């Protein structure tokens, strides 16, 4: 078998991280990994038609997830979330808010544990 170049090795590792992230997310949110299917059967038994050319990574009853597993979290996201966690009073869920002034888009970020507690139920 021929030796992989550094670029090929990095792409292979990135794809493996992506598959790991999708599978992990689907288990945590009681969802289904979409792949390139035209129809997805959710765990409730309901069928959902999706665009197989641009499918979401994971679907559950309420959300369509796009999963990105990076080697490291961007410093800005880490900074915003650490401040949100530090400043949140006891009993409140910390949420980081990041806005893009040029595109007029706002993103809300929370930790995985808080998301699961809110939407899946505490374990």
Instruction: Give domain limits for the chain.
Output: 1-69, 72-123
User: C-alpha angle 88/63/114, rounded to 5°?
Assistant: 20
- Measure the CA–CA gap between 98 and 65, rounded to whole angstroms: 19
pLDDT at 54: 87
- Greater confidence (28 vs 120) lies with 28
pLDDT at 68: 84
pLDDT at 80: 93
- Measure the CA–CA gap between 95 and 109, rounded to whole angstroms: 6
pLDDT at 106: 92
For 24-53, the pLDDT digits (tens) are 999 998 889 988 888 888 888 999 898 878
- Measure the CA–CA gap between 17 and 60, rounded to whole angstroms: 21
- Measure the CA–CA gap between 93 and 57, rounded to whole angstroms: 26
- Give backbone dihedrals phi and psi of 60, rounded to 5 degrees, phi first: -135, -170
For 52-101, the pLDDT digits (tens) are 788 889 998 888 898 888 878 889 999 999 999 999 999 899 999 999 88
């Amino acid at each position: 078998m021929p030796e992989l170049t550094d670029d090929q090795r990095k792409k292979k590792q990135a794809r493996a991280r992506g598959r790991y992230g999708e599978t992990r997310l689907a288990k945590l949110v009681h969802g289904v990994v979409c792949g390139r299917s035209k129809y997805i059967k959710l765990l409730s038994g309901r069928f959902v038609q999706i665009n197989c050319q641009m499918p979401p990574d994971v679907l559950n009853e309420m959300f369509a997830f796009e999963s990105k597993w990076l080697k490291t979290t961007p410093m800005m996201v880490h900074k915003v979330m650490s401040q949100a966690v530090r400043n949140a009073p006891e009993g409140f869920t910390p949420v980081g808010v990041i806005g893009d002034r040029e595109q007029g888009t706002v993103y809300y970020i929370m930790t995985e544990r808080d998301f699961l507690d809110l939407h899946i139920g505490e374990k």
